[in-house]
Amino acid sequence: MRSIRLLPAVTGVAAALAIALTATACGPTETPASDKPAGKTAAGPSEGGSDAGSDLTKDIAGKLKKHGVDLDEWKKGEWKNWDRDTWLREAEDFVNPVIDGLWDTERMQSAKSPDPTVETQATSGGSDPVPRPVTAQREKTPYHRYAAPVGKIFFDAPEGHMVCSGTIVKDPRRPGKSNLVWTAGHCVHAGKKGGWYRNITFVPAFNDLGKSPAALRNAQPHEVYPYGQYWADWAVTSGEWIQSGGTNQAWPYDYAVLHVQPQQGRKSLEETVGVALPVDFSAPAPSQAGTIGAWGYPAAPPYNGMIMHKCLDRATRLSTAPATPTMYRIGCTMTGGSSGGGWFRALPNGTTALVSNTSIGPAGRNGWLAGPQLGRGAKAAHEMVSKKFAR
């Protein structure tokens, strides 16, 4: 296994990343916080959800009715119908009605990770040698103090209750009041084999004190979700992911942006948590990206999904298919469940920004992770959400 001893330069980056992840707002109280598009161009972002300022409930009900589904029946359990012929998959079909009380602690603990560890064969000429593994380190607790914008994304899929990771990112049109969360495309949409996942909610600083699964069963709600739950009311992923997600050609486009709303209260996600990170869309070459830090909640063995971890390594190249963008790859032992978790780097001006997200790793083992370069397509997805909810 690769030693985790950091070189001086890497140590400096680690310190910068830690500072950037520190919340500036007051910590959580003892109760959850209260107060190319599809059909256009394959390279563009694909969107889902409702228009800003519209009656969300009416919009959701209308979309479901269009497909022969009653909103009340959906909430009573019709959402469990995963029939391929009725599974909403197009960009404009995204719906995610809030079901009060659905994601309790027991249900959260039962959630499993999707499988981002695929039998991907690196294409010749576009990949660097496999990096040596970097052992993932546990984040310090309480998470709301050391890594507040990092959290878990829970959702339902045909396979059952599922979990990924996500990061609060800035909204250029709502400075200081962002409701945007960055994650992986495969955490919100099944890609080529299906449609949009359901009951998607984001929990920043999940399991704030880093308790074991046994201890968490008896934890107070504010220890499980210190800032509350934030349901997604809109989603954007890449057109490539919707069309061919799950294939080697689509992994370089495996990113998504969620717009969320608090299950209780009216304050924005960024106001509540106290921090959101900018996104670096310059897509630097791996050799120019420097040291990258990846954060997430690995859930596949040997991890249990309850504890936040992180890795720091220098990025290298991974090519998954001809004529597709090169992905970043780092040594890291995190496993499934860390999918969608943010990758951060220090920019030349000293700002720490999200530069990628966890997408895939090696099948049958751990040791490295790969994430997409975020260029024009990713920026268009981010802009689409920002414009939609501009106030």
Give the tens place of pLDDT for each residue, 2-25. Answer: 222 333 344 455 655 665 666 655
- 21-38 pLDDT, tens per residue? 666 555 664 433 333 433
Average pLDDT over residues 243-267: 94
Number of other CB atoms surrounding residue 127 within 10 Å: 18
For tokens 């039962």, the residue is: 110
DSSP reduced 3-state for 233 = strand
Tell me phi and psi for residue 338, to 5 degrees: -80, -10
DSSP reduced 3-state for 135 = coil
pLDDT (0 to 100) of residue 41: 37
- pLDDT surpassing 50 at residue 138: yes
pLDDT (0 to 100) of residue 114: 82
Percent of the chain with pLDDT over 90: 73
Q: Measured between alpha carbons, how far is 23 from 26 in angstroms, rounded to an integer?
A: 8
Average pLDDT over residues 326-354: 95
Average pLDDT over residues 98-103: 94
Q: How many CA atoms lie within 13 A of 70 on its CB side?
A: 4
Neighbouring residues of 140: CB distance < 8 A, sequence distance ≥ 6 = 146
pLDDT (0 to 100) of residue 37: 36
pLDDT (0 to 100) of residue 26: 55
pLDDT (0 to 100) of residue 264: 80
Average pLDDT over residues 275-304: 96
Average pLDDT over residues 135-157: 97
Contact between residue 255 and residue 184 where contact means Cβ atoms under 8 Å apart: yes
Q: β-pairing, 352-357 with 342-346?
A: antiparallel
pLDDT (0 to 100) of residue 126: 85
- 163-213 pLDDT, tens per residue? 999 999 999 999 999 999 999 999 999 999 999 999 999 999 999 999 999
- pLDDT surpassing 90 at residue 62: no
pLDDT (0 to 100) of residue 169: 98
Angle subtended at Cα 113 by Cα 116 and Cα 282, rounded to the nearest 5 degrees: 45
Residue 72 in tokens = 């009340």
Burial of 109 per CB tally in 10 Å (0-12, 13-18, 19+): middle
Write down the pTM of the prediction: 0.89
pLDDT (0 to 100) of residue 365: 73
pLDDT (0 to 100) of residue 48: 57
Q: What is the mean pLDDT of the chain?
A: 86
The residue among 25 and 322 whose pLDDT is bigger is 322
Give the CA diameter of the chain.
60
Tell me phi and psi for residue 70, to 5 degrees: -90, 135
Contact between residue 330 and residue 132 where contact means Cβ atoms under 8 Å apart: no
